[in-house]
């Protein structure tokens, strides 16, 4: 049994320790907001936070987060930065198909936590690790800047 906290609640799962957090979330716990895109941590669709830091759930074994707090897209709105990011996303009509956006938002929140007033270059550097096939990057960029402004 592996115990951890998920969005503030205690959680216990009985799965092999090498099971990636992504599949514990999606298949074991039915939380499908975190997405499977590539399976090799190159697209960022699976981004969650572990003890507040950005992690790619598709390659993070559940045993490695025992005792830690996992935060997912479903709960990030309860965080001050998360809420600002989500509101900016809606205001700027960022999403198209939407499949990458859970990861984009989690990455944006991580960026703003560490760099509350990111420059264009900061946003480019941090957000270039999250793929979007619909090409919503232009609006993501604007939304991140707007969220930063609203938090200042």
C-beta closer to another protein: residue 29 or 149: 29
7 binds another protein (CB under 8 A): no
In whole angstroms, how close is the CB of 81 to another protein at the nearest point?
12
71 binds another protein (CB under 8 A): no
- Radius of gyration (Cα) for the chain, nearest Å? 15
Q: DSSP label at 7?
A: T
Four-residue CA torsion sign, 112, 117, 123, 125: negative
The correct pick among 129, 145, 150, 151 for binding another protein (CB under 8 A) is 129
In whole angstroms, how close is the CB of 152 to another protein at the nearest point?
18
Rounded CA gap, 144 and 116, in Å?
10
Residues 9-48 that bind another protein (CB under 8 A): 16, 18-20, 23, 26-28, 30, 32-45
4 binds another protein (CB under 8 A): no
Rounded CA gap, 29 and 48, in Å?
15
Q: What's the CA angle centered on 111, arms 68 and 10, to 5 degrees? A: 20
Residues 97-116 that bind another protein (CB under 8 A): 97-102, 105, 107, 110-111, 113-115
The correct pick among 79, 96, 145, 151 for binding another protein (CB under 8 A) is 96
Chain position carrying tokens 């009509």? 93
**Cα 138 from chain centroid (whole Å):** 19
Q: DSSP label at 20?
A: B
C-beta closer to another protein: residue 12 or 147: 147
In whole angstroms, how close is the CB of 5 to another protein at the nearest point?
17
């Amino acid at each position: 049994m592996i115990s951890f906290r998920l969005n503030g609640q205690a959680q216990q799962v009985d799965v092999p320790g090498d099971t990636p957090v992504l599949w514990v979330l999606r298949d074991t716990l039915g939380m499908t907001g975190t997405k499977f895109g590539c399976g090799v941590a190159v697209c960022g669709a699976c981004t969650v936070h572990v003890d507040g830091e950005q992690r790619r759930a598709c390659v993070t074994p559940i045993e490695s987060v025992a005792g830690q707090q996992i935060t997912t897209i479903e709960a990030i709105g309860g965080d001050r930065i998360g809420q600002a990011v989500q509101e900016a996303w809606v205001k700027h009509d960022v999403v198209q198909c939407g499949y990458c956006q859970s990861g984009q938002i989690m990455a944006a929140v991580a960026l703003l936590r560490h760099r509350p007033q990111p420059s264009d270059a900061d946003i480019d550097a941090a957000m270039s690790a999250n793929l979007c096939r619909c090409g919503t990057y232009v609006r993501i960029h604007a939304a991140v800047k707007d969220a930063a402004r609203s938090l200042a």
